[in-house]
Amino acid sequence: MWTALRLFSARVAASFRHAELDTDFDAEMASHRAMLEEELRRTGRTPEEARRQARLEFGPETQLREAHRDRRGLPWLDTLAQDLRYAIRLLRRDLGFAVFAILIVGIGVGASATIYSVVSALLLRPLPFSEPERLTWIANGGTVSDGLSGQTVPVGHYQALRERSRSFADIGAYMAFYGAGDHTLTGSGEPERITTVPVSPNFFAVLGVAMRRGRGFTVEESRWKGPPAIVLTDRLWHRRFNADPAIVGRKILIDGDPVPVVGVLPASFDFGTILAPGTTIDAFTAFPLSPESDKWGNTLAMIGRLKTGVSLEQARAETGVLAPQIKKRDPDRAFDLQLTPLAEHVSGRLRPALAVLASAVAVVMLIVCANLSNLFLARAASRQREMAIRVALGAGRRRLIRQMLTESLLLAGAGSVLGLLLAVAGTRVVSHVTAFNLPLLDRVRLDGPALLVILATAFVTGVVFGLAPAVQVPDVAVGGALTESSRGTTSTRHVWLRASLVVSEIAFACVLLIGAGLLTRSLLRVLDTNLGFRPDHTAALRLTPAAGYTGQAGENRYFGEALRLVRAIPGVEAVGLTDALPLGRNRSWNPGAKGRAYSRENPPPDSFVRVISDGYLETMHIPLLQGRDFTEHDTDGSKKVVIINQSMARALWPGENPIGKTAIYLDPEREVVGVVGDVRHLSLEEASGLEFYLPSRQTTDHFPMDLVMRTALAPEVLASEVRRALAPLDPSLATNEFRTLQSVVDRASSPRRFVVLLLASFAGFALLLASLGIYAVISYSVSQRQRELGIRMALGASAGEVRRQILGETFRLAGLGLVVGLPVAWALSRSMSSLLYGIDATDPLTFAGMIATLTAVAAVAGYLPALRASRTNPLVALRAD
Amino acid sequence: MATDERADILQGTLDLMVLKTLDAMGPLHGYGIAKRIEQLSGDALQINQGTIYLCLVRLVQRKWIAAAWGTSDNNRRAKFYEITKTGRKQLVAEAAHWERIAGVIGRLLQLDTRR
């Protein structure tokens, strides 16, 4: 084995020193021949005879030199080097073609690798927890339309499940109704609002996250009114506390109260990106697990870790039995347990969209291959004379094929280097983009498998587009090619192959265009939907009563004053308060209509509750359909009132006027004073459920409030104005949780926009390539038929007729492409229907539009060659050879 | 094909002959080796003298012989080849191998005539 290796390395070394070794051998041969000559002269021959005889006896020198070179070096390496040098020289001559080929291979490979990295990060790679496949999302049986309340469970149920379940090693929980910026952090810098998530003491342990510093929460800290404690995320620790090594034990001011820091989480743990995409989580607190918090109703989302050896099916069977048992604790509360693997819960709903993107990028690669194959075929045709000469000089079929393959692999290699650079840039951009509410996006990076995909695609493109013309190469009638015109012969099979390649490109482009068109129209529909409120020129600021303003009276004083102060700011049109901004969190209760008989079988429907101040409806431009808005007079002590939305009016008082009616189960009853339009609260795509509004002055049972302002002022100006206006009321106001409602709405549509953006660019690229393909084929066909066209024009065909003929061919090609592509697009769009909104998968307008676009593009692509054809000077054409 | 087979056998025996020549006669240049082999084989091997170099280059790469430029007895510059220690080991092994084969074939041929 070692000798073989040594031999190989010797030969490699020799192949790099050919010139030097050749000279050496020449000298040796000369010396040998000289000695032979001398010997022969001694035997009596004349010098000339001796020389001739020596040469004969020695053997043919040139062949020997070649054989020596082959024997001492690596002949295949030499051939490869020769092929490469030749290929580079040829490509340098044809720079336009080379650049174009490298560019489209680069874009194709870059796009494939980026999309693959995204798919890998979002769907394929396991979650960043220990043994993530055992983690299960345990939810109450509600669907997404039931809002958060439908999916969470009360503390008591959680504890019961944890105690009784045998399938799970442990179950952790977090309080799902945290809000962004609910709490204020003061001291050691500007007051800022932070987002904290209350969790169970075993939460981090269940996920398998080891603390970077300190510890998690103890059971003691999870008691009702237990000692306060907070765990910081790595990001907050670095940003706010400069990674202070003595942070554990230090007390920080949360909402004015000193809270000791008990631990810091590692940088690898990012709750937000997994469970709350779009939100930055700053810290974690201990959620009190007690009978008192049990009374709050559905609060907890659960994550369980299956015991080793227990399957999800077994766990499902067990929870199927346990759920009804646990439900007995509170029979009126809907309770049903649904188990999904955590990975599925996090990114399962993205699967269809990512599948579409992955298929789209594969189609793009196919188009790239087809286009390049076409280009190479065209070049091969024009190089037939060169090929014929090489064949005449002794090149074998295999040698020619190898030459063509070397050229195409060289291009593919250069293209994939470009693609690699583009993919690195692309993944970096994607991982840093925070404007899209997609989970795990920050994990996107170019990894090993992605690299392999790049190499594989490069190799495949090289072989595929190098093979088609390389196979054509031997079909050369040497004699004919040498004497034929420089254009070379047009074998019909050759032309047919090119035409079919273009037809396939058009078909692929058609599929992509229709897919992109459908998704774009869906996006437009989503953006167009009547949300029930007007997000433009509206901003929201989280506002919590300052210290000293406690109880209902204190709150009313604080908020009343805040409203008055902000309303007075010039430029502010309207102000209001709400505890539940649209597209944010939600909670639901079950108020009913007085006089109806409700029972366990016929419960009052779930309705979303919102606590608002007077002025909110006006600020948000939520239409008031009947009755009146809240006023300052709907306050503590006056009659308890409620405003309901249209859907709720129809549900509770169908066919009647709800104004003046009483709603029950609302501590204890409230009179309906107004009916407003529905607001899309859960998502842009979903119709709103039943909603009702309570006046903020009449209840303290609400989430932290947001101050909502409608104004023409720019957000930065508004922020500083508000801070200034509220300074007398609350000097330590934190204003970092200031956001415009338009940005909230944009965020909600961002996953859809992400997909449409990518798909539309792929479709555009595909269209460009298809049109270039058409142009190339028609152009070539025109140039091949110069003589024929010349004759036709000489015989009286007008320029217009010739143009029409060429355009006719173009449309025939395009038509064929559509004939192939439309049925495929039809079939594929139906599998995509889960992603569509507001339109059918077979939307005729989109299909018609795309057909028109393709036809128009084809017309443009074919027009230039048609023009050239019609300008043929018959004399020149007939004379040309 | 027949010529290929013969070429292979040639190559194998040529290696052996070159090594033996260098072992017996000490360092020689290419011409010297070729002449010696011609003499030994009694012109049975009709090869061009130049092909010896193809054999020599392989032997050098396997480090069985070593090459160096020097001066011949006629004061001519020539490349001299010398057998190495590994080469000598290879020679012994190769010679044993051939003798074994010769023995077996000899016995085989004797078998026939005994009948």
Q: What is the pLDDT of residue A271?
A: 87
For the residues A163-187, what does the mean pLDDT come to? 88
Which one of B14, B55, B57 would you mutate to disrupt binding with A, by most A Cβ within 10 Å of its Cβ? Answer: B57
Pairing, β A230-232 against β A283-286: antiparallel
Question: Which DSSP category does A306 fall into?
Answer: E
Cβ-contact A836, A517 below 8 angstroms: no
**Which of B48, B59, B89 to mutate against chain A (most A CBs within 10 Å)?**
B48
Within 8 A of A57 by CB-CB distance, chain B residues are 48-49
The 3-state DSSP class for residue A186 equals strand
CA distance A149 to A300: 9
DSSP three-state, residue A253: strand
Distance CA A68, CA A66 (A): 5
Who among A28, A38, A71 is closest to B79 (CB)?
Answer: A28
Residue A4: list chain B partners with CB under 8 A. none
The answer on pLDDT for A513 being more than 60 is yes
Partner-chain contact B62 A3, CB within 8 Å: yes
Does residue A488 carry a pLDDT above 50? Answer: no
Secondary structure class of A231 (helix, strand, coil)? strand
Per-residue pLDDT at B7? 58
B79 reaches A (C-beta below 8 A): yes
Tokens of B50: 């130049």
Longest dimension (CA), chain A: 142
Confidence of residue A144 (pLDDT cuts 50, 70, 90): low
Query: A74-78, A274-278, A728-732, A869-873: which has the minimum mean pLDDT?
Result: A869-873
Average pLDDT value over all residues in chain A: 85
Q: Does B78 touch chain A (CB under 8 A)?
A: yes
Query: Closest Cα to residue A782, out of A345, A490, A587, A411?
Result: A490
Gap between the Cα atoms of A705 and A181, Å rounded:
10
| Nearest-angstrom CA–CA distance, A857 and A851 | 10
Model confidence at A217: pLDDT above 80 = yes
Give mean pLDDT, residues A643-669: 89
Helix residue spans in A653-798 (DSSP H): 715-726, 741-748, 750-784, 786-794
Residue A605 confidence (pLDDT) above 60: yes
Q: What is the mean pLDDT of residues A188-199?
A: 87
User: Best interface-test mutation with B: which of A33, A38, A71, A74 has the largest number of B CBs within 10 A?
Assistant: A71
Specify the 3-state DSSP secondary structure of A247: coil
Token pair for B105 = 């074939």
User: Please, are residues A237 and A248 in contact by the beta-carbon 8 Å criterion?
Assistant: no
Write out the two tokens for A154.
């009360």
CB of A498 closer than 8 Å to CB of A783 = no
CB–CB contact B53 A6 (8 Å) = no
Is the pLDDT score of A232 beyond 90?
Answer: yes
Q: Which of A236-250, A430-444, A451-465 is most confident?
A: A236-250
Give the lowest-confidence range in A350-364, A376-390, A831-845.
Answer: A376-390
A836 by DSSP, 3-state: which? Answer: coil
Q: Kindly tell me if the per-residue pLDDT of A413 is higher than 60.
A: yes
Predicted local confidence at residue A302, as pLDDT: 94
Residues of chain A found within 8 Å of residue B76, distances taken between Cβ atoms = 31, 34-35
Is B48 in CB contact (< 8 Å) with chain A?
Answer: yes
Cβ proximity of A181 and A161 under 8 Å:
no
DSSP A573: E
Q: How many residues does chain B have?
A: 115
- The single-letter DSSP state of residue A594 is T
Q: What is the pLDDT of residue A478?
A: 52
Q: What is the pLDDT at residue A145?
A: 65
Instruction: Report the candidate in A666, A838, A706, A857 with the shortest Cα–Cα distance to residue A774.
Output: A857
CB contact, 8 Å: B39 with chain A? no
**Which of the residue ranges A169-173, A797-801, A802-806, A840-844 has the most confident prediction, judged by mean pLDDT?**
A169-173
How do residues B14-32 score in pLDDT, each as one tens digit?
Answer: 888 888 889 988 898 888 8
Is pLDDT above 50 for A171? Answer: yes
**Cβ within 8 Å, pair B51-A72:** no
Spatial distance between the Cα atoms of A98 and A106, rounded to a whole number of angstroms: 12
Residues in chain A: 881
d(CA A694, CA A470): 77
- Residue A686 and residue A679: Cα distance in Å, rounded? 10
Q: Where does the pLDDT of residue A471 fall: very low under 50, low under 70, confident under 90, or very high at 90 and above?
A: low
What band does A805 get if pLDDT is binned at 50, 70 and 90? confident
pLDDT grade, residue B62 (50/70/90)?
confident
Does the pLDDT at position A683 exceed 50? yes
Q: Is the pLDDT of residue A677 over 90?
A: yes
CA-CA-CA-CA dihedral for B43, B45, B51, B57, to nearest 10: -110
What pLDDT does A450 receive?
Answer: 75
CA atoms of A531 and B25, how far apart (whole Å): 103
B59 to chain A, closest Cα gap in Å: 10
pLDDT above 70: percentage of residues in chain A: 96
Collect all residues of chain A within an 8 Å Cβ-Cβ radius of residue B72.
35
CA A617 to chain centre: 36
* Residue B41 pLDDT grade (very low, low, confident, very high; cuts 50, 70, 90): confident
Among B49, B51, B72, select the one facing A36 at the smallest CB separation. Answer: B49
Span A742-755, pLDDT tens digits: 988 888 888 888 88
Contact assessment for residue A146 and residue A608, using Cβ atoms and an 8 Å cutoff:
no
Q: Element (H or E) spanning A673, and its range?
A: strand A669-676
DSSP H or E run through A185: strand A183-186
Which amino acid is present at A422? L
Q: According to the 3-state scheme, what is the secondary structure of A124-168?
A: HCCCCCCCHHHEEEEEECCCHHHHHHHHCECHHHHHHHHHHCCCE
Helix or strand run (H / E) with residue A693? strand A691-695
Beta-carbon count within 10 A of B67 CB: 18
User: Which residues of A are less than 8 Å from B77 in CB distance?
Assistant: 27, 31
pLDDT at res. A489: 46
Q: What angle do the packed helices A492-528 and A351-382 form, to 10 degrees? A: 150
Q: Which chain B residue has the Cα nearest residue A62?
A: B50
Q: What does residue A108 show for φ and ψ, rounded to 5 degrees?
A: -60, -50
The helix, strand and coil proportions of chain B, stated in percent and rounded to the nearest 5, come to 70, 15, 15
Inter-chain residue contact A31 with B54, CB threshold 8 Å: no
Tokens at residue A19, please? 């010139």
Residue among B11, B61, B75 with most chain A CBs within 10 A, to mutate: B61
Cβ–Cβ gap A11/B61 under 8 Å: yes
DSSP secondary-structure letter at A435?
S
State the nearest Cα–Cα gap between B90 and chain A, in angstroms: 12
Q: How far apart are CA A605 and CA A790, in angstroms?
A: 82
The confidence score (pLDDT) of residue A184 equals 86
What's the mean pLDDT in A484-501? 64
What pLDDT band is residue B113 in, cutting at 50, 70 and 90?
A: low
> What one-character DSSP code corresponds to residue A121?
I
Token pair listed for B15: 């290696």
In angstroms, the CA A562 to CA A570 distance is: 15
Distance CA A186, CA A190 (A): 7
What's the pLDDT band for A314 if we cut at 50, 70, 90?
Answer: very high
CA of residue A99 relative to chain centroid, distance: 29
pTM of structure: 0.76
User: Strands, E, within A536-668: which ranges?
Assistant: 538-543, 572-578, 588-589, 592-593, 607-612, 624-627, 641-645, 662-664
User: How many interface pairs between A and B have CB atoms less than 8 angstroms apart?
Assistant: 70
Token digits of residue B80: 């001299």
Strand locations in A545-615, DSSP E?
572-578, 588-589, 592-593, 607-612
